[in-house]
Amino acid sequence: MNFIQTTGRKTLAFVRILGAHTLFLLRIVSLLPQSLLRLRLTVRQVYFAGVLSVLIIAVSGLFVGMVLGLQGYTQLAKFKSADVLGFMVAASLLRELGPVLAAILFASSAGGAMTSEIGLMKTTEQLEAMNVMAVDPVARVVAPRFWAGVLSMPLLASIFNVAGIYGAYLIGVRWLGLDAGIFWSHMQNNITFGYDVLNGLIKSACFGTAVALIAVYQGFHCTPTAEGILRASTRTVVSSALTVLALDFILTAFMFTA
């Protein structure tokens, strides 16, 4: 009985949290016309959430691609199939690793920063001051950061993919001596825009929506103390990583299964 009660309690808590996030998302989406009028705020948040994350995304993508190139060449060479290294790395990055790893890195950097910033504004009663001045804090503070995350994620994932493919090129062609023409031709002949690139972009957009929603929700509903902000930032990173992995499984099941 205790096991059943615990399971039921945790299930109800999960459903309650999921419903709260959904209602918060609907509230943000309903404020889209106001967000379009405040486009400058969204562009500014795209800079803070996206542009400032480019370096860590590009460097991480480069090293991930180098590791994939080295490990892939080692394994493919055993079966005399090293020529397909370019296709293997590109497919792995475009379909799975690029969107997933970029989203987790985005959650760790920009997502945590969003939560901390909104939480600090709540702690210093800036959000309450906006309510007093008849300014909706969700439209003014939350929505621009949410849309910035949604817009930035596909671009960051694309940068991650490009850096990763270039890293594999450096290892496979420049270091291990694989022919450059074969490397690029196999990739060009087997990678398709609709199946590989577009599905990867759709994944990254879904991940960006989930990460941005979790970040702004945790910041907006955190306990207005220093410890509360710290806990909210931690929950943002952990919840975002788990959500991205779960969404990746669901989206892969729909996109890449016959």
Q: Compute the distance between CA of residue 32 and CA of residue 147 in angstroms, rounded to an integer.
A: 9
Among left, alpha and beta (phi > 0; psi -120 to 50; other), residue 14 is: alpha
Tens-digit pLDDT profile for residues 122-152 = 988 898 898 888 888 999 999 999 999 999 9
- 8 A C-beta contact, residue 237 and residue 108: yes
Q: Phi/psi of residue 26, each to 5°?
A: -65, -35
Checking if the pLDDT of 186 tops 90, the result is no
Per-residue confidence (pLDDT) for residue 37, from 0 to 100: 82
> What does each C-alpha distance from 242 to 13, 25, 103, 109, 237 come to in angstroms?
17, 19, 11, 16, 9
Per-residue confidence (pLDDT) for residue 152, from 0 to 100: 94
Q: Compute the distance between CA of residue 49 and CA of residue 229 in angstroms, rounded to an integer.
A: 19
Per-residue confidence (pLDDT) for residue 1, from 0 to 100: 62
Per-residue confidence (pLDDT) for residue 170, from 0 to 100: 94
Higher-confidence position of 256 and 233: 233
- 8 A C-beta contact, residue 211 and residue 219: no
When pLDDT is cut at 50, 70 and 90, the band that residue 104 belongs to is very high
CB neighbourhood size of 251 (10 A): 17
Per-residue confidence (pLDDT) for residue 153, from 0 to 100: 95
Per-residue confidence (pLDDT) for residue 258, from 0 to 100: 52
Residue 220: which residues within 8 A CB-CB, separation 6 or more?
24, 118, 122, 127, 137, 138, 142
Higher-confidence position of 36 and 128: 128
Q: Compute the distance between CA of residue 143 and CA of residue 134 in angstroms, rounded to an integer.
A: 16
Q: SS3 letters for 71-105?
A: HHHHHHHHCCCHHHHHHHHHHHHHHHHHHHHHHHH
Determine the angle formed by the axes of helices 198-220 and 143-169, rounding to 10 degrees: 140
Checking if the pLDDT of 19 tops 60, the result is yes
Q: Compute the distance between CA of residue 63 and CA of residue 93 in angstroms, rounded to an integer.
A: 12
Checking if the pLDDT of 210 tops 60, the result is yes
Per-residue confidence (pLDDT) for residue 90, from 0 to 100: 92
Mean pLDDT on 221-247 = 92
Q: Compute the distance between CA of residue 73 and CA of residue 166 in angstroms, rounded to an integer.
A: 15
Tell me the pLDDT of the chain averaged across its residues: 90
Tens-digit pLDDT profile for residues 66-80 = 999 999 988 888 888
Per-residue confidence (pLDDT) for residue 257, from 0 to 100: 67
Per-residue confidence (pLDDT) for residue 46, from 0 to 100: 92
Per-residue confidence (pLDDT) for residue 83, from 0 to 100: 84
Chain position carrying tokens 């970040």: 215
Checking if the pLDDT of 121 tops 60, the result is yes
When pLDDT is cut at 50, 70 and 90, the band that residue 2 belongs to is confident
pTM of the model as a whole: 0.91
Mean pLDDT on 19-46 = 90
